[in-house]
Structure 1
Amino acid sequence: MLVPQTSIPEVLLRGSIMYLMLFLALRYLMKRHAGQVGIADILVIVLISEAAQNAMVGEAKSLVEAAFLVGTILFWSYVINWLSDRVPFLRSLGGGDPVPLIQDGRFNRRNMDRELLTEDELMSQLRQHGIERVAEVKRACLEPDGNISVIRVRGGDEQKPAGRTRGI
C-alpha cells in the first residue's frame, strides 16, 4: 500500500508532461469570448481529466496515446464551437433565445415558472445590481448563458448588468 507500483521519477515525468500539455491546450484553445465557462466547456474538461489521469499514473500504455486522446477531445470541441459560430441552426442548439422575465416593471410569471425562478431569486439578482423595485426595470431576460440582463426604465440610466442565476 505504501510502496509505489511505478517509479517516482516516472510519475514526476508523466505528471509534468501531461500538466504542461493540458495547460497549453486549455490556455490557448479554450478561450471564451465573454470570459465564462459553459456546460460544453465543463464536459471537455471532465473528458480531458479522465483521459489525462491514466497517462499521469501510468495506466495508459504511453503518453503519446493519452496526448492523442486529449488532442481528439480538444479538436472536436474546437470544431463544434467553430461550426456553432457560423451555422445558425447549430447556434440555436447551443442555447436558444433570451427568456423575458420582467417586462415594463411586471414579472412574467409563466416564464419564471418555466425557468424555475422564484420572485425572491429574481429580486436578489436585481438587488445585486442596485435595483430595489421591479418597477425600475423596463426589461429583464434570462440569457442563454444563465445570466440575467437588465434594462432600467429610465432611458439615460439603461444598464445591462449580468449575474449568475444558478450554479453549474
Structure 2
Amino acid sequence: MTLSPYLDIIFRSVAVYFFMTIALRLFGKKELSQLNTGDIILILLISNSVQNAMVGPDTSLLGGLIAALALFIINYGIKKLEHKYPKLNTLLLDKPEILIHDGKLDFKTLSKLDITNEELKEAMREHGVEYFYEVKLAMLEIDGTISIISKNSNLIQTHYKRKHNDKSSGSQIS
C-alpha cells in the first residue's frame, strides 16, 4: 500500500472544498439555514457528482474516510485562519446588508436581495413594528436573519429568520 494514492485523495478533496466554497459565494446562497426541497436536491446531486473527483478510482472505505478527514481538516483550518485574519472572513462570507435606515427603505439593496414587501413587513411584525418609519435600522445578517431595531426603545428586539424566497409568490418591493 503506497501513500501516493491517499495524497491524491487529499489533494482532490481540498480542491473540491475550495471549488464548492467559491461556487456558493459566487452564487450568493445567503440562506443555507433555510433550504427548500430544490436546494437539498441540488446539494445531494452536487455531493454525488464530486465524489469521484475527490476519491478518483479508490472507492474503498479507507479512501472515503481519508477524503472526509481531509475535508474536516481543511474546514477546521479555514475557521482558524478566519479568526486570525478577519479579511479572509470578509472574503469568504457575505457582509450584513442595511435594508432600512431611519425609516427609509434601501430599495436598491432590497431588490438585489430579492426581499419582498410582505417578507419585510412580516419581519417587522415579528419585532413588534407596524410601520417603516418606526424602524431605526433593519439588517439582513450573514446567517439570513433580518434584525430590526425600532425607534421605540421599549420594544423587545427579536430575530426574524428569512424564509427561502419563492420568486413566484409575493410582490417585490420596487
Secondary structure, counterpart of 2:144 in structure 1: coil
Question: Unaligned 5+ residue runs, structure 1?
Answer: 1-35
- The answer to whether the Cα contact below 8 Å between 1:148 and 1:165 also exists between their aligned partners in 2 is no
Change (3 A) 1:37 1:85: farther
Identity level (%): 28
Question: Unaligned 5+ residue runs, structure 2?
Answer: 1-31, 36-41, 166-174
Number of residues of Structure 1 aligned to a counterpart in Structure 2:
123
Aligned to 2:67: 69
Q: TM-score, normalised to structure 2's length? A: 0.57
Secondary structure, counterpart of 1:101 in structure 2: strand
Secondary structure, counterpart of 1:69 in structure 2: helix
The runs of at least 4 aligned residues of structure 1 exceeding 6 Å deviation read: none
1:123 Cα deviation from its structure 2 partner: 1.0
The one of the two structures with greater contact order (alpha-carbon pairs below 8 A, sep at least 6) is: 2
Structure 2 CA distance, aligned partners of 1:66 and 1:155? 54
Q: Deviations over 1:133-153 (max 9, x none)?
A: 223311101112221111111
Tell me how large the CA RMSD over aligned residues is.
3.3
Q: TM-score, normalised to structure 1's length? A: 0.59
Secondary structure, counterpart of 1:138 in structure 2: strand
Larger Rg computed on CA atoms: 1
- The answer to whether the Cα contact below 8 Å between 2:34 and 2:163 also exists between their aligned partners in 1 is no
